[in-house]
Amino acid sequence: MQNEDDLRGLAKVMDFMRALSILFVVINIYWFCYEAIHDLGFNIGVVDKILMNFNRTAGLFTSILWTKLFAVVFLALSCLGTRGVKDEKITWPKIIASLTAGFILFFFNWWLLALPFPAEANAGLYVFTMTAGYILLLMGGVWLSRLLKNNMFDDVFNTENESFQQETRLLANVYSVNLPTRFWYKKKQHNGWVNVVNPFRASIVLGTPGSGKSYAIVNSYIKQQIEKGFSMYIYDFKFPDLSTIAYNHLLNNREGYEITPTFYVINFDDPSRSHRCNPINPSFMDDISDAYESSYTIMLNLNRTWVSKQGDFFVESPIILFAAIIWYLRIYQGGRFCTFPHAIEFLNKPYEKIFPILTSYPELENYLSPFMDAWLGGAADQLQGQIASAKIPLSRMISPALYWVMSADEFTLDINNPAEPKILVVGNNPDRQSIYGAALGLYNSRITKLINKKGQLKSSVIIDELPTIYFRGLDNLIATARSNKVAVLLGFQDFSQLKRDYGDKEAAVVMNTVGNIFSGQVVGDTAKTLSDRFGKVLQKRQSMTINRNDKSTSISTQMDSLIPASKISNLTQGMFVGAVADNFDERIEQKIFHAEIVVDSQRVAAEEKAYKKIPVIADFTDENGVDRMKEQIQENYDRIKAEAKQIVEDEIRRIKDDPDLCHLLPKEE
């Protein structure tokens, strides 16, 4: 509470100022209406001498304006300390009208003294207009002071109180991503930087659709990391948006690499603009656990609800069955037929044939024992349910185009191999995301294991719209890949999406282990979580008490959210809040930011105008110039089906001819 003695002292000073103002008005009237006043019998010799001395030494009355100006100055000073109730009827038009009328009457009435009337009449008009003008100026000044005082803390959204100094230095290194910003602080706009000096501590970008995640941040990550020589894996949900940026930026920035990386594309929609890659290449599977990982990833991508049911019988059964098939193809003829399409085709053969084949291999015998027990025990319904749980989701992936892309090896997935660096983009399609997402999840899982090794190049994994795929091992990649120079950037809309698709535990690990976070507009629990993460700061609070005769204010301080959840829920497009991590030798005192990420839209538009399309990769035209893409893809599809059929026939014949294995076959009726 403000000290009452101070308030009384202030009131006395303001009263003194107003008294001086009135004194100058009286002096002006006395001097310039002297003749009329003298005729009325008022003649104070002492006052005359004092005023004459003032005029002689200071020239106070050389102009009619000087005393008026002094009167107005002291009047204005007296209004600064105005106290009283807030009048809701006080408006800016009233204040302007009062001040304008008062100014005209007070300053522009000198001509009244020169009218051809008796001096007393002229003086009367002069005194009346000057007094009226003074009263109007006093009213306008008091109203203005009250309005300004009552609006002094009318920052209804608490913008000033919640603004804070942010990083204005550019801290760049060989790994950093630096984003220019504009932020508000102390009623001014400042230029600053968000410095991600350690991208290997992982980054997440949140924001509702249209908040500017990709345009402001993801695109900048891709461009700057290519400029700094990163090998890269990009999941492009809206292919070819990110892919086109990566392709063209690589063309224009090859000098950042010792060995220029090769640009690869996985695209199921247009096989002519896609390379071919087998995600279960036998050379990268050393143990049956690798087959299980692949099976686990594909099944959970096809059945998102299984994420929260891990361990259930009808969840684990199809995963184990498909893992056994993958490993069988890995060991059969040295892995010659170990491709994802061959595995699907093999699974769709009659179980009376595939079970004996798989069980005939000692390393798979224990894997298949639950199925064999159900089969031999006559539990046909249970067995059919187990097999159907695998067949039904995988049957959605039977597609000639998908078989084409996933059945050959034009490149390997070790994107950060120092001898063969790569930039790999994989494209999804929002209309077919459930099917494509499952296949792409298999690439994700394999890449995660291959890149997280020592002695490799610095690399980046950029996953936009993360919830559209299930990324097996994502939490482990974030937690352990920092020392192997793997930078992870994850883009999604809300924490609730992550919890829905990855389960509470894994989502919590992802959210709590990332070092760099960017958030556009988000609402609900996500906004509250982020607000808590950014912490609290000492903020000033004012309360006001108004009564009939007086007004008192109280100013206090309290700890309050630096960036409240309500602020995060109403961010403008392009505005982001967040925090960055620093390094031992690159300290960032103010890690938290609330700013607009500045993007040079004209430059971006010019770059995009000059972009080249991703070129045709596979030429399907024959010697006559006829496009035979459909025929070749269909031939590949038919070949895989025929090979799977032939494998089963050859294996059944082998088992029949082996006296030690023939008992595995069902007895013929």
Note the residue count of the chain.
669
Query: Taking the model in full, what pTM does it have?
Result: 0.75
Is residue 502 included in any domain, yes or no?
no
Range of the domain at 65: 1-148
Residue type, 280: I
**Quick check: 434 and 268 in contact, CB under 8 A?**
no
**Quick check: 540 and 161 in contact, CB under 8 A?**
yes
Q: Stretch 28-47: mean pLDDT, rounded?
A: 73
Is residue 264 included in any domain, yes or no?
no
pLDDT in tens, 43-66: 666 677 777 777 777 777 778 888
- Look at residues 105, 121, 148 and tell me which one is the last residue of a structural domain: 148
Is residue 505 included in any domain, yes or no?
no
**Quick check: 472 and 293 in contact, CB under 8 A?**
yes
Lowest mean pLDDT among 417-426, 464-473, 592-601: 464-473
The predicted pLDDT at position 82 comes to 59
The predicted pLDDT at position 157 comes to 60
pLDDT in tens, 438-452: 788 888 888 888 898
CA–CA distance from 231 to each of 263, 295, 416, 420, 579 (Å)? 10, 27, 6, 10, 25
Choice between 83 and 310, residue whose per-residue pLDDT is larger: 310
In degrees, to the nearest 5, what angle opens at C-alpha 567 toward C-alphas 562 and 568?
95
pLDDT in tens, 94-122: 888 888 988 888 888 877 777 788 877 88
For residue 78, count other CB atoms closer than 10 A to its CB: 23
Q: Stretch 122-134: mean pLDDT, rounded?
A: 86
**Quick check: 559 and 535 in contact, CB under 8 A?**
no
- Look at residues 107, 122, 148 and tell me which one is the last residue of a structural domain: 148
pLDDT in tens, 384-407: 777 777 788 788 888 898 999 998
Is residue 189 included in any domain, yes or no?
no
The per-residue pLDDT of the chain, averaged, comes to: 84
Q: Stretch 584-608: mean pLDDT, rounded?
A: 92
The predicted pLDDT at position 171 comes to 93
The predicted pLDDT at position 2 comes to 46
The pLDDT confidence band at residue 551, using thresholds 50, 70 and 90, is low
C-alpha to C-alpha distance for 207 and 217, rounded to whole angstroms: 11
The predicted pLDDT at position 467 comes to 84
The pLDDT confidence band at residue 1, using thresholds 50, 70 and 90, is very low
The pLDDT confidence band at residue 669, using thresholds 50, 70 and 90, is very low
Q: Stretch 495-524: mean pLDDT, rounded?
A: 88
> Does residue 543 surpass a pLDDT of 70?
no
Is residue 317 included in any domain, yes or no?
yes
The predicted pLDDT at position 218 comes to 95
Lowest mean pLDDT among 231-235, 314-318, 445-449, 664-668: 664-668
* Cα dihedral 117→123→129→130 (10° resolution): 150
The predicted pLDDT at position 114 comes to 77
Is residue 186 included in any domain, yes or no?
no
Domain count, the chain: 2
The predicted pLDDT at position 154 comes to 54
**Quick check: 470 and 502 in contact, CB under 8 A?**
yes
H-assigned helices in 360-481: 362-376, 380-395, 400-405, 433-451, 474-480
Cα maximum dimension of the chain: 148
- Look at residues 148, 182, 200 and tell me which one is the last residue of a structural domain: 148
The predicted pLDDT at position 206 comes to 93
Is residue 443 included in any domain, yes or no?
no
Q: Which of 352-356, 548-552, 604-608 has the highest mean pLDDT?
A: 604-608
597 strand-pairing partners? 181
The pLDDT confidence band at residue 329, using thresholds 50, 70 and 90, is very high
Q: What is the DSSP string of 449-484?
A: HHHSSTTPPPEEEEESSGGGS--TTHHHHHHHGGGG
Choice between 44 and 651, residue whose per-residue pLDDT is larger: 651
pLDDT in tens, 490-508: 999 998 888 888 888 888 8
**Quick check: 64 and 32 in contact, CB under 8 A?**
yes
Residues sharing a CB contact under 8 Å with residue 331, sequence separation 6 or more, in sequence order = 361, 363
Q: Stretch 518-537: mean pLDDT, rounded?
A: 90
The predicted pLDDT at position 152 comes to 47
Is residue 564 included in any domain, yes or no?
no
Closest among 510, 410, 504, 424 to 466, alpha carbons compared? 510
C-alpha to C-alpha distance for 5 and 132, rounded to whole angstroms: 34
The predicted pLDDT at position 516 comes to 95
pLDDT in tens, 247-284: 999 999 998 899 999 999 998 888 888 999 998 888 87
